[in-house]
Amino acid sequence: MSNKVRIIIHIVLALAFIGAGVMGFKLLKSSKEALGRQEPEVPLPMVRIVSIRVGEIDMTITGEGTVQAMTESQIVPQVSGKVIQVSENLVNGGTFKKGDLLVTIEPRDYEIAVTLAEAEVKDAESKYEMAVQETEASKREWQRMHPGESPPPLVAKEPQLSAARAGLEARRANLEKARLNLARTTINAPFNGRVSSEQVDIGQYVAPGQAMATLYATDVVEIVVPMENEDLNWFTIPGFTSDKSTGARATVKARVAGRERTWRGQVNRVEGKIDAKTRMVNVVIRVPDPFATRPPLSVGQFVEIEIDGNTITQAAVIPRAALHDKNTVWAVNPEEKRLYFRNVEIARMDERGVVVQSGLKPSDLVVVSPLKAPTDGMQVRYVNADNGGQS
């Protein structure tokens, strides 16, 4: 076969293959269905929700303060002299009972003064008795000489009798003062208490008005708790928010000796003035028998306070993250899977979260995650923030 024939055969085969390809493409194109235009599906926004419980909620108002002594006194002598005895309990931190002997001042000078005063009283009694007898004798002599007539005062020696009576009263007063000064040489505890400081020792000379020790009573202590004015509406304060004589109960908490301790107290009053700098109101809590426990609730201890407040019905507690624009909550209806805006009434905010007084339904699922452009009634998907369940 010549080269010319071979070339012609190759050309014919190539054209046959090209023609077969073109025919196959046309057949495929004619059998393919036309595709319609489709819009891509937009996914619903995902939110995190928490369920709520609507019902009665006991309000608890918290605060902080420092324990203070309700009664605190300085031991001050009323007479001068040398100290000859000091109680072993009269030391910083020492405890004592009411009536316990604390300090004794040398009494000898005052015992002598009592003896001298007693002698002066006896002398004055003698002079007074003599004046009485002389007055009676003068009156009898006048009646004998002037029957039926009253004697003049000078004749009856009435001025002398009055002077003697006054002298006797003065001597008795001096005796009472001497005995009182003698009694003041012993100083006894005015109440059950504890010593916070002392500045006296045996052999020391003390003078009237000189402070020897500072004591405070241990039967009751007080805690001053600064609070916001709005918080006062939620619990009973005698004479302030209520006419009741007893205030709300309170729990006092403190960490003492490495452990958390609690004591029961009661709201007693508010102080007379609002703090001009902070605008806070000082609420006073009283705790009885703070030293009945071991360890005790000591003066100067920093404590936390929980006050039992009023009860709100049909209320709910929600996280702070669920609150928007001060009083709006996003809530999901689980049946419709739609998000709705709820205008709520807020009672107060505390460590539990936001206490909502009204505006939420028991079936609402509260949204706690942010959304870029939320609308009232929009459809959403949600996942439970508590257990991770998705809907």
CA–CA distance, 272 with 269 (Å, rounded to integer)? 9
Q: ω before 152 within 30° of 0 (cis)?
A: no
| Alpha-carbon distances of 104 from 99, 109, 110, 185, 245, rounded to whole Å | 13, 13, 13, 6, 43
pTM of the model: 0.74
In this prediction, residue 309 carries a pLDDT of 93
108-145 vs 158-183: helix axis angle to the nearest 10?
A: 160
In this prediction, residue 151 carries a pLDDT of 87
Q: Which CATH class is domain 47-58+313-384?
A: mainly beta
CATH number, domain 61-69+218-309: 2.40.30.170
In this prediction, residue 148 carries a pLDDT of 81
The string of pLDDT tens digits covering residues 121-172 is 999 999 999 999 988 888 888 888 888 888 888 877 888 889 999 999 999 9
Closest CA to 214 of 184, 189, 181, 185: 189
The string of pLDDT tens digits covering residues 308-332 is 999 998 899 999 999 998 899 999 9
In this prediction, residue 366 carries a pLDDT of 94
In this prediction, residue 40 carries a pLDDT of 63
In this structure, is the dihedral angle defined by the CA atoms of residues 88, 92, 97 and 102, taken in order, positive or negative? positive
> In the numeric block, which tokens belong to residue 234?
């939620």
CA–CA distance, 163 with 257 (Å, rounded to integer)? 71
Residues of the chain with pLDDT under 70: 1-10, 12-17, 19-22, 24-25, 27-42, 387-391
Closest CA to 181 of 189, 173, 191: 173
In this prediction, residue 387 carries a pLDDT of 62
